[in-house]
Copies of this chain bind each other. A is one copy, B any other.
Amino acid sequence: MAESAPRLVEQVMASITRRIAARELASGAKLPSIRQLAASQGVSKSTVVEAYDRLAGDGAIQARPGSGFYVTGRTAPFALTEVGRRIDRAIDPLWIMRQALEGDGDQRPGCGWLPESWLPVDSIRKALRTAARGAGAGLVDYGTPLGFPPLRQQLERRLGERGIAAPPSQILLTESGSQAIDLVCRFLLAPGDTVLIDDPCYFNFLSVLQAHRVQAHGVPQTPDGPDLAVMEQLAARHRPKLYLTNASLQNPTGASLAPAQAFRLLKLAEEQDFLILEDDIFGDFAGEGTVRLAALDGLERVVYLGSFSKTLSASVRCGYIAAKPEWVEGLTDLKLATSFGNADLSARLVHQLLTDGSYRRHVEGLKTRLAGARSETARRLEAIGCSLWTEPRGGMFLWACLPDGIDSADLSRKILTEDIVLAPGNVFSISQSAGRYLRFNAAQSASPRIFEALARAMAD
């Protein structure tokens, strides 16, 4: 795909740089909005977007969420993007997170969650009314150190159904799945350690590992799980402390670990003596035959985590960790030190939602609806010349390969001017080898406008 008007982009960049040098735009000053500058300079919005992105990439200006672009002042003492690998600053993981979180009213096939209309809003309203009638202590007190006991009992049963034996004393509630990952990393890792991740993987794994100042190495993903031959070589060479992975319906590819792979992976972890953090936040979307490492391993060298952000609500946030008894104490200490208690109200609401009987029906309904949405989205993607890397057995994601010669970051930048937020492949790839891929959320891809705009942009 041709770079759109590179000369114009550079002209816009030069004019901004001049104004900063001349102190017309002082440190901290707000830049004109994209629309304003496009109008005043007589260029397209996409030209301004690219100019701002590149200036931001140079560190001259910075985006401030919900507000616009500003002239950079003194650099921040700790910037995630300055630590470790620098991933295409114009479209990096934090860029995509912010776009997806901010774009109100936009089409967001690139985002990682279900639309409001798919979630059990009425059940949540009911749970809030129930909480309003409940005991006062639950509304104002700090929770117990491990978190609301009845929810941990519920979780014991739910994990038991997945073959994971964990009594409530081995289950620690957290504010979210993200907080759970952060907490486990803090507990198991020290700065300078090495961690294996999937390539591609959930982009936030890269950010959180950077925040922990550890070295990450990517293991190529196959439709049956990580490439174990490569993993073995990496493990022998780098002596990793941890392998961080999705349990099932891998983000972004939708791949699921085959049972034979799971067994070999655990043997490898034992031989090479690394631990595994198994993030199963999509676990409720997975089918019956799904294998969990934590179940095979008995929580010996696997720490397991989940949350309800994907099936219930991302606003009523609640995650959990299941770990071996010897580690629960230290994890709890760290949780108290860094967040004191829990949002106990959220835990109570989730417990209420799990016990009112509608959760299973809700999840079954979601599975059926997602299967339909995946088929429909796959059909539309194929109609515009994209192919699927694998056919996921559940969940919301499709990993789509673009036609030859189309770069997914370019395409994402371009189509953002039509208020469509995509998830370009390289934000998920530590090796930056996924430039031809896009992650599609089937539940957010119902509008034909998305595929019309994509077809136009690809032909451009």
List B contacts of A146 (CB < 8 A).
65-66
User: Across the interface, do B339 and A101 meet the contact criterion of CB distance under 8 Å?
Assistant: no
Q: What's the number of copies of this chain in the assembled complex?
A: 2
In A34-89, the 8 Å CB interface with B consists of 62-67, 70, 72-81
A79 to B334, CA, bound (A): 8
* Contact (Cβ within 8 A) A343 B346: yes
- Does chain B have a CB within 8 A of A188? yes
Residues of A within 8 A of B (CB): 27-28, 62-67, 70, 72-81, 94, 97-98, 101-102, 113, 116, 119, 121, 124-126, 128-129, 131-133, 136-146, 149, 169, 175-179, 182, 186-191, 204, 207-208, 210-211, 213, 309, 312-317, 324-330, 332-334, 336-346, 348
CB-based contact A116/B140 at 8 Å: yes
CA A140 to CA B114, docked complex, whole Å: 9
Contact B102 A145 (CB under 8 A): yes
In the bound complex, how far is the Cα of B206 from the Cα of A333, in angstroms? 12
Most interface-central of A98, A101, A126, A177 (chain B CB within 10 A): A101
| A107 to B326 Cα, complex, angstroms | 30
Partner of A178, one of B62, B190, B340: B340
CB atoms of A139 and B313 under 8 A apart: yes
Cα distance, A132 to B316, chains bound together (Å)? 12
Q: Which residues of B contact A210 (CB under 8 A)?
A: 337
5 shortest interchain CB distances as A-B pairs: A76-B330, A207-B337, A128-B132, A121-B136, A73-B326
Closest residue to A28 on the B side, CB-wise? B325
CA distance A177 to B338 in the complex (A): 9
Residues of the B chain whose Cβ atoms lie less than 8 Å from the Cβ of A66? 144-146, 149, 169
Name the distance in Å between A420's Cβ and chain B's nearest Cβ: 18
Question: Are A325 and B188 interface neighbours, CB within 8 A?
Answer: no
Give the residue of B64, B177, B314, B342 whose beta carbon is less than 8 angstroms from that of A325. B64
Task: Tell me if B145 and A101 are in contact (CB < 8 A).
Answer: yes
- Determine the distance from Cα of A341 to Cα of B97 in the docked complex, in whole angstroms: 10
Closest to A348 in B: B315
The distance in angstroms between the C-alpha atoms of A191 and B70, with both chains bound, is: 30
Instruction: Determine the distance from Cα of A119 to Cα of B119 in the docked complex, in whole angstroms.
Output: 32
Q: A129-B128, A326-B74 are in contact. Are A64 and B345 (CB under 8 A)?
A: no
Is there an interface contact between A326 and B75, defined as CB atoms closer than 8 Å?
yes
A141, A309, A316: most-surrounded residue (chain B CB, <10 A): A141
